[in-house]
C-alpha cells in the first residue's frame, strides 16, 4: 500500500529568520537555502518583499531572488521558491527583479551596474528559467525538473492583529490582495494565502471565531489564491479547537486540497495539532528547520514547528515526504550555531546524537 504523501513547506529562511535581532549576512541566508535545497524539499519560502523599516531582516530579499535565479541551488528536483508580499509595491518589486534577470540573461552584456555580467544559469535539472512571459512560464511548470517562483500574501483573522501586522483593517487587507493576485496571474505566478492568528491572537486572546477564519479563507480562494495556509501564529491552538476549526472550514465548503496548516510551537502543541490535521485529511504542512522563527508582531510567539520533528512524526506514521531527516537535522544544527541560539528541534538533536 502506497504511503500517504505529505508536502512540507519549509519556511525557515523567511519565517525562521525574519525575527532574528542581529543582522544575518546574505551569504548565510543563501547557504541555508542552498543546503535546504539538497534535502528533498519541494517548497521553500526564501524571503519577503516587505519594507526594511517593518522587517529589517528581510531587506536582502531581492538579492536572494536574483541569486536563486542566477545560480540555482543544486537540488534533486525542481523547487518552488516562495516570497511573501505584503502589498502591490512588494509584488511590483518582485516582478521587476524577475524582469531584470530575464533581460540580463537575454543580453548578458547589458549590466546596469557596469559590473561583469553574471553568467547565465547552467543548464541542468535544477536550472531556474523563470520568465515574465506566461506561456514560457507554463512550459517551465510542466517540467518536474524546473524551479518556479511563487508568492504568499497574508491576512489575519482578528482586527487588532491585522492593524499591527499590516497597518489596516481585515477588509482593507483583503482589498489590497486583489491587485497582487491579478498581477501574479498575469505572470503565471502561483499564489498562496495566509490567514494569521486562526487559533489565537496575541491581542484578542484564544477565542478566535472559526467562522471568521473560514470566511477569510474562502475570500482568498475566490480571489484566485491556489492554496491557503491557516496559521496558528501564537501557538495557542489546542486539539479540540483545531478540530473545530477544520470542521468549520469543511462546512464552509473549503477542500482539504486547498488547505495547508502552519503551526508555531510556542506551547508545544504543534505536533498534536498536526495529527488532528492529518486525521482530517490535510496533507500540506509548514515548518521551519531547527524550529527557527516567530512573528515580529506577535510578542512571545516562538518558532514554527521544527521541520525535523514534523518529519519524524510523519515518517513514524508511514507518510512519505521525500525529505531526508538526517540532512535536515544537520542543517538545523548548523543554522542554530550560526545564529548563536539553541537547536529547538528535539528529533533533530536526537538523530544527531545517535
Ligand atoms: P505602511 O507603513 O502602512 O505602508 O505599511 P505605506 O504604504 O504607508 O508605506 C510606508 C513606507 O514603506 C513608504 O516609504 C513606502 O514607499 C514603503 P516612505 O515614504 O516612508 O519612505 N513601502 C515599501 N518599501 C519596500 N517594499 C514594500 C513597500 N511598501 C511600502 N513592499 C505594510 C503597510 C503592509 C507595507 C506593512 O504593514 C508591512 O510591511 N507589514 C508586513 C509585516 C510583516 O512582514 N510581518 C511578518 C510577516 S507575516 C507572518 O509572519 C505571519 C505568517 O508567518 C503566518 C503566521 O504565522 O501567522 C505568514
Ligand atoms: Mg508564521
Q: What is the pLDDT of residues 67-104, one digit of tens each?
A: 999 999 999 999 999 999 999 999 999 999 999 999 99
Q: Return the SS3 of 342.
A: coil
Q: For ligand 1, which residues put their CB under 6 angstroms from it? A: 15, 18, 48-51, 54-55, 84, 86-87, 89-90, 93, 154, 165-167, 194, 196, 231, 233, 262, 264, 295-297
ipTM of the complex: 0.98
> What pLDDT digit, counting tens, does each position of 155-205 carry?
999 999 999 999 999 999 999 999 999 999 999 999 999 999 999 999 999
How distant is the alpha carbon of residue 286 from its chain centre?
Answer: 7
CB 306 within 8 A of CB 335: no
Q: Which three cell numbers stand for residue 118?
A: 553574471
Q: What is the dihedral of CA 197, 221, 65, 21, to 10 degrees?
A: 0
- Ligand 1: centre distance to CA 56 (Å): 11
Where do the H-state alpha helices sit in the chain? 26-37, 61-70, 88-106, 134-142, 159-166, 170-186, 210-223, 239-251, 270-280, 307-316, 325-339, 346-353
Query: In this structure, how many other beta carbons lie within 10 angstroms of the beta carbon of residue 155?
Result: 24
Residue 229 CA, closest ligand 1 atom number: 54
Ligand nearest to the CA of 161: 1
Q: Which residue has the cell 518583499?
A: 49
Atom number in ligand 1 closest to CA 58: 44
Residue 136 has pLDDT above 60, yes or no: no
> Terminus-to-terminus CA distance in the chain, angstroms?
30
Q: What is the mean pLDDT of residues 283-301?
A: 87
Q: Is 285 helix (H, G, I), strand (E, B) or coil?
A: strand
At residue 185's C-alpha, the angle toward residues 181 and 190, to 5°, is 85
The per-residue b/e assignment along 42-78, b for 16 or more CB within 10 angstroms, e otherwise, is: bbbbbbbbbeeeebebbbbbbebbbbbbebbbebbeb
In this structure, of 108-112, 184-188, 244-248, 324-328, the range with the lowest mean pLDDT score is 108-112
Catalytic sites, residue numbers = 295
Distance CA 307, CA 351 (A): 13
- Record the pTM: 0.91
CA distance 325 to 318: 14
Question: What is the C-alpha radius of gyration for the chain, rounded to an integer number of angstroms?
Answer: 19
Amino acid at each position: 500500500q502506497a504511503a500517504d504523501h505529505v508536502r512540507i513547506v519549509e519556511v525557515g529562511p523567511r519565517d525562521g529568520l525574519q525575527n532574528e535581532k542581529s543582522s544575518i549576512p546574505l551569504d548565510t541566508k543563501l547557504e541555508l537555502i542552498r543546503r535546504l535545497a539538497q534535502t528533498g524539499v519541494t517548497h521553500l519560502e526564501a524571503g519577503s518583499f516587505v519594507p526594511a523599516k517593518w522587517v529589517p531582516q528581510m531587506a536582502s530579499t531581492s538579492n536572494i531572488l536574483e541569486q536563486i535565479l542566477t545560480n540555482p541551488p543544486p537540488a534533486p528536483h525542481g523547487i518552488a521558491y516562495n516570497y511573501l508580499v505584503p502589498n502591490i509595491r512588494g509584488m511590483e518589486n518582485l516582478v521587476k527583479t524577475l524582469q531584470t534577470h530575464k533581460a540580463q540573461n537575454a543580453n548578458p552584456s547589458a549590466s546596469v551596474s557596469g559590473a561583469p555580467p553574471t553568467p547565465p544559469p547552467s543548464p541542468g535539472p535544477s536550472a531556474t528559467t523563470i520568465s515574465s512571459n506566461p506561456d514560457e512560464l507554463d512550459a517551465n511548470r510542466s517540467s518536474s525538473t524546473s524551479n518556479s517562483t511563487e508568492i504568499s500574501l497574508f491576512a489575519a483573522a482578528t482586527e487588532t492583529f491585522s492593524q499591527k501586522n499590516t497597518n489596516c483593517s481585515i477588509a482593507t487587507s483583503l482589498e489590497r490582495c486583489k491587485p497582487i493576485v491579478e498581477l501574479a496571474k498575469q505572470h503565471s505566478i502561483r499564489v498562496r494565502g495566509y490567514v494569521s492568528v486562526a487559533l489565537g491572537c496575541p491581542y484578542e486572546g484564544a477565542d478566535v471565531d472559526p467562522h471568521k477564519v473560514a470566511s477569510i479563507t474562502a475570500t482568498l480562494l475566490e480571489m484566485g489564491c491556489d492554496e491557503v495556509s491557516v496559521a496558528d501564529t501564537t501557538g495557542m491552538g489546542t486539539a479540540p479547537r483545531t478540530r473545530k476549526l477544520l470542521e468549520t472550514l469543511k462546512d464552509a465548503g473549503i477542500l482539504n486540497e486547498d488547505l495547508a496548516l502552519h503551526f508555531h510551537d510556542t506551547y508545544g502543541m504543534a505536533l498534536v495539532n498536526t495529527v488532528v490535521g492529518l486525521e482530517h485529511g490535510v496533507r500540506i504542512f509548514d515548518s521551519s528547520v531547527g524550529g527557527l522563527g516567530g512573528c515580529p508582531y506577535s510578542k512571545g510567539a516562538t518558532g514554527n514547528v521544527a521541520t525535523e520533528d514534523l518529519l519524524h512524526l510523519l515518517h513514524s506514521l508511514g507518510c512519505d515526504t521525500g525529505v531526508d531527516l538526517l540532512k535536515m537535522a544537520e542543517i538545523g544544527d548548523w543554522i542554530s550555531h550560526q545564529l548563536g541560539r539553541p537547536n529547538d528541534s528535539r528529533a533533530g538533536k536526537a538523530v544527531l546524537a545517535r
